[in-house]
Amino acid sequence: MIKVLRSDSTDEMDLSGPSVDMYALVELLRAGAGEMSLAPDPEPRFYDRALARMIINRAAGRVLLTVEGDTLHIAGEERFLAVLADNLEAVAEAGDTTSHLHVDYYPGHYYLAEDSAALVVQLSAA
C-alpha cells in the first residue's frame, strides 16, 4: 500500500510503497482520474502526519500537487500526468529501495505547476 507522509510546516511530502502499488498509481495517473486509499502511519518519522487518500483528476495546465485535509490531490493535463507516471514507473522498474526521486518545482519545470508541493518518491519493501 502507498504511504504519503506530510510536513505541515514545509508542505513537503514523502510517498513510498512497494513496486506493485507504485504501478497501480502509475495506471491511475495515465488514466487521468481515480482514487487510492493510503496506508496509515500513527508515528510518521520526520513528518507531521500520514495522509489517508489520494485523488487524481485531469485539469488544465501542469501537474499540481496539493493537500486538503487528509487528501493528496494530483491534477493536470493528460500529457503532464503521463510524464509524472513515467517517472514513477522508472522508480518501480529500478526496484531500488535505497534511492529516491525528488518531484520539486523549479523555474521552467516541464511538467510541474509553480505552486505544486514538493514530493520525494521511493520504493519500500513489499
Which residues of the chain, if any, have pLDDT below 50?
A: none
From the options 3.30.1360, 1.10.150, 3.30.2000, 3.30.300, give the CATH code of 3-123: 3.30.1360
Is the CA virtual torsion 43, 8, 69, 38 positive or negative?
negative
Q: Which residues contact 86 (CB under 8 A, 6 or more apart)?
A: none
For the chain, domain boundaries: 3-123
| Lookup: cell for 48 | 507531521
Cα–Cα distance for residue pair 108/90, rounded to 1 Å: 22
Cα atoms in the Cβ-side hemisphere of radius 13 Å centred on 22: 27
Distance CA 18, CA 35 (A): 18
pLDDT recorded at residue 115: 96
Cα–Cα distance between 63 and 42 in angstroms, integer? 29
The pLDDT of residue 95 is 87
